[in-house]
Every structure is written in structure tokens, then in C-alpha cells.
Amino acid sequence: MDSFEGIVEFIAVAESRGFSAAAKQLGCSTSHVSRQLARLEERLGCVLLSRTTRLVSLTDTGAVYYQQVKDLLTGLQQANELVNLQQINLTGTLRVSAAGGFAEHYVAPALMSFAQAHPELTIDMDFNSRMVNFVEDGIDFAIRYGELSDSNLIARKLVNRPMMAVAADEYLQHYGEPKQPGDLKNHSCIVTNNDTWKFIHNGVPESVKVKGRWRSNNANAVLQACEQGLGIAYMPKSTFTESVKGGRLLPILQSYWGSGSSSWIVYQNRRFMPLRTRMAIDFLVQYFAHWHEDENL
């Protein structure tokens, strides 16, 4: 196996666009960084960086190499951190409030992995969409989607959640397929707690007020209603992953899907946070650092 020597320095230079900045970031001399990069390029037999008197930039080959080794280094760092986590014996009960299909299908399995690494830790997940009182309810942190209203809480983003519009083939056969968002006014839509759907096309946003005969604030209920042909649904992509893969639902209005909102970890002041809570939050942020909805379709 080729040596990993020089890769850390290469990534630092690529991201900071300079040898001096990279050296400062890594806590070493500029000459060390330059020497390591030269050896790396010599081993690979190609030029990774284009150097001028004012700027350092990636060559085409360097850009491709950067993407590959960045993911590799991230994976190694995560592996090291996971091993370190396993050396700490966490105890007590971690209480998590969660809502939505993303929390059920993705966050819960992630916390199961965390629980496996800490056999003396108990995790209590409460699936409820209401806004909790962290003190009275004894909640350590919550998983929430969309805009956050309480500015007194701390929020850390887990993932971006781009949208997808879908319908069952049965519905489309009977009522036709909408070709643009405005057509939804003539369709039955499965409404959540928001009946104004936001789309975007060629950079231009468009909002459509929709209506239908099925309304629910539960993602699984929306999914099942859509599969039963009760109307068109518009939610984050991961809601429909398995149904689209299985052919039970068909994507529509693809060129108009909006960017959606984000899923967040919400909690109180970190200063007095138990170690189990802090480590669980850090674990989830790291776990979802490279998670993308598109990769799950």
C-alpha cells in the first residue's frame, strides 16, 4: 500500500488555498508542508496544485484526488473517534424527543449504534411532534424538522432535506399528471401542517396553496395515503425512498422540487450537559456529516 504521508498536508493546502495557512492550521512549518506535498506529487507522478505568487489552486487532477482522499481521511477520523467512544463507559438514561419519518427511519438506527457501543446506557426515545419543555419533560435533546421558533435553545444542523413530489400510478392514471406547480390547484393533495407548497424552477421560487381530502401531520400516514392513491404528496425525499424504489410511487414535477428545510438537534445550554448527552449529540452530527437524501434514492 502506498504511504498516506502528505495527504493531510495536501487537504489542508487545498482547503486553505495556501501553504502558510495550511502550516498554521496543522501546527508545523511551511517548509514541512511544501516538502510533504512535493513527495506526494512525486509518488503519484502528477501535479496536484497550481502555484502562483498569490494563490494556490487545485489542478483538474488535484480536484479529483481531493474528493477521494477527503472522504478517505474523514472515514479514518470517524473510525478513530468511534473507537475512542467505545473506551468511555457511559451510564444513566438518555432521553430524546423525536418527530417525523426521518427520525424514525434514520436517527433511531443511528442511536441504536450508539447504544451498542455503550451497553450500560439506556436510551428513551419519545416520538411526539409537540414542542417539549426540556426541564419538565426531562428531555436531553430533541430532533426537529423545519424552522425553529425558540431562540433560547441551541440548534445543530443534522442534514438538509430537499423535497420530492410523488403520486401513485393509480392516481395519475385516473386524474392525469400535473406538469407544473400551478396544476396542483386542480388536484387532490395530501396536506401536512403546511398547505402552501414551495417550489423552484430555474432559480425562481413559486408557492402554491393546495387542498385535498386527506390531512395528517404524520409522515407515515401521508406516505400510506399517497400509496393508496388518495392524492399527491410533497415531502422530503427520504420519506418516499422505499416506495419509489419499489415502484409504489412515481416522482412528478421533478424540475420544480424545492430545497426544503433541515433536520436539527435542539437542546439547552451545553455548559451543564451530561457527558452522555454531549457525546450522543456529537455522535449524531458526525454520523450524518456525509448523509445526502439523493444517495438514499
Of the pLDDT bands very low, low, confident and very high (cuts 50, 70, 90), residue 290 is confident
Distance CA 275, CA 42 (A): 46
Domain with CATH 3.40.190.290 in the chain: 163-256
pTM for this entry: 0.61
First-residue to last-residue Cα distance in the chain: 34
3-state SS, one letter per residue, for 4-55: CCCHHHHHHHHHHCCHHHHHHHHCCCHHHHHHHHHHHHHHHCCCCEEECCCC
Residues of the chain with CATH 3.40.190.10: 92-161+261-296
pLDDT, tens digit, for every residue of 178-232?
A: 999 999 999 999 998 889 999 998 889 999 999 999 999 888 899 999 999 999 9
Residues 113, 279, 157: CA angle, nearest 5 degrees: 90
More confident residue, 30 or 172: 172
The domain over range 92-161+261-296 is classified in CATH as 3.40.190.10: yes
At residue 262, does pLDDT exceed 50?
A: yes
Closest CA to 51 of 62, 66, 67: 62
Of 5 and 284, the structure prediction assigns the larger pLDDT to: 284
What pLDDT is attached to residue 132?
Answer: 73
pLDDT at 289 over 60: yes
Contact 86, 263 (CB under 8 A): no
Condensed to tens digits (0 to 9), the pLDDT of residues 117-164 reads 999 999 999 987 777 777 778 889 999 887 766 667 788 888 888 899
| Domain(s) of CATH 1.10.10.10: residues in the chain | 7-80
Q: How would residue 1 be classed by pLDDT, with cut points 50, 70 and 90?
A: very low
**Rounded to the nearest 5 degrees, what angle is found at the Cα of 219, between the Cα atoms of 230 and 178?**
40
pLDDT of residue 173: 96
Task: State the cell numbers at 214.
Answer: 386527506
The whole-angstrom separation of Cα 294 and Cα 53 is 40
Instruction: For domain 163-256, give the fold.
Output: D-Maltodextrin-Binding Protein; domain 2 (3.40.190)
- For 97-115, the pLDDT digits (tens) are 998 788 888 999 999 999 9
For the domain covering 7-80, report its CATH number. Answer: 1.10.10.10
- The CB-side HSE value for 279 (13 A sphere, CA atoms) comes to 20
Round to whole Å and give the CA distance between 252 and 180. Answer: 9
Q: What mean pLDDT is predicted for residues 70-79? A: 74
Strands 92-98 and 141-145: parallel
pLDDT (average), residues 14-39? 87
pLDDT at residue number 231: 97
238-242's contacts with Cβ under 8 Å and 24+ in sequence apart are 238/101, 238/102, 238/105, 238/106, 238/161, 238/293, 238/296, 239/101, 239/102, 239/164, 240/164, 240/166, 241/296, 241/297
Q: How confident is the model at residue 247 (pLDDT cuts 50, 70, 90)?
A: very high
